[in-house]
Amino acid sequence: MADCCTSRLGGRYDIAVIGAGSAGFSAAITAAEQGANVALIGHGTIGGTCVNVGCVPSKTMIRAAEALHGARTASRFPGLSGEAQVTDWQALVAAKDDLVTSLRQGKYVELLSAWPSISYLDGAARLSPDGIAVDGQTVPAGKAVITTGAAPAKPDIPGIDDVPWLSSTTALELTALPRSLIVIGGGYVGCELAQMFARMGTEVTLVTRSRLLPEAEPEVSEALTGYLRDEGLIVRDGLAYRQIARADDRVALTVEIEGRGETLRAEQVLVATGRTPNTRGLDLPQNGVQLANNGGVAVDERMRTSKADLYAAGDVTGRDQFVYMAAYGARLAALNALNGDSLVYDNSAMPWVVFTDPQVAGVGLSEAAAREAGYDVKTSVLPLDQVPRALAARDTRGLIKLVADAETDRLLGGQILAPEGADSVQTLALALKAGMTAKGLGETIFPYLTTVEGLKLAAQTFEKDVAMLSCCAG
């Protein structure tokens, strides 16, 4: 980093940003745009989770697995057949690493040279009575933003410390494809990676305490579970973890299901049970910074911590752990720090995506959350076999569920389970942001033979049976 950055420990900064991932760069660039002198403090590999070990490497491997699956399922079209397999796992991993390196270099390292008012300081930072210390030296700054991210969490399973378990990071670094794999955790990371490894040729058992994607609508969770089982994954849900241990050259996980014990064995085990905010070593409580119950830095709606002039954003706060929300929150934090705390964090129309196949995407309130919030709720559920695009693609896996206020007809939220659902959810996010009604969405013009047209059909389903309409009617 010495070639691209300058150290200005002797000067004074308007703001210091602790953490050099997507949130940190968002805060630093936002502050620089405001004319501030910025100290961006990084420790370890620049770029943070998303580009290095999260979104970018996982999604390129997931896309590769989709290519395999696409070839193998070509026979759903009469007259076609296809087959595909992994011929060089190491070459695939190397290509993933090349993509990560190029994006990290282009979007982080080289980007710093375009912002002369940002000084990159490489070292471990912590709070002290005098402000912020980096490797023992005080960084003079009027305001500061903490953006140190999060790391894979370790579950409380007896014996876990004696087993060489994989995290979402190390699983994507394997030099050989496992023959068998137990995936612990049914959240978005567990579901995505379990399906990816299964499509690559690994025998996968996916286990979870509750159900898959517990924050998703029950209809979505149930359908996705069925689709994964159809692909050959073993999905065991509603269980308790009792013990994990080595068993010769394998790993043995003992679980309890409806009072009965059962031991599952595999060559490797991947732990995907959430992420823990990176607050360790920052000396936050010792310096008057309150932590939330989940271990993240507690912030208010303006990104302020309990300590004056100190803000926090991104995964380190333990909420909305998506890279785009980290960047959004960090931008607000920097603007508030420099301009008087006028901006409020708003996640009411925050879209989210799970990159399984079919993809799961949603925005706004689920049916349960809407009822808990006191709404008189109405819902519509449209199976994908009522969407012409799905029929043309001969892939009707999925559904669309919309939630609306029964009194006002205003849309409150929705979820999409579809092979191309991720590219449709933003339309629903905009509808929610605009305060649209279900009737208004159902009367909006949508292009025919698109997945997003399913939103119009789902909105019409509140009042009519779309199976009784001709193409494009209504």
Q: Which residues are annotated as a binding site for FAD?
A: 59, 315
Residue 174 near residue 94, CB atoms below 8 Å:
no
Binding site listing: 59, 185-192, 274, 315
**Burial environment of residue 343 by CB neighbours within 10 A (0 to 12, 13 to 18, 19 or more):** middle
**Burial environment of residue 174 by CB neighbours within 10 A (0 to 12, 13 to 18, 19 or more):** middle
End-to-end CA distance of the chain: 59
Binding site listing for NAD(+): 185-192, 274
Cα radius of gyration (the chain)? 24
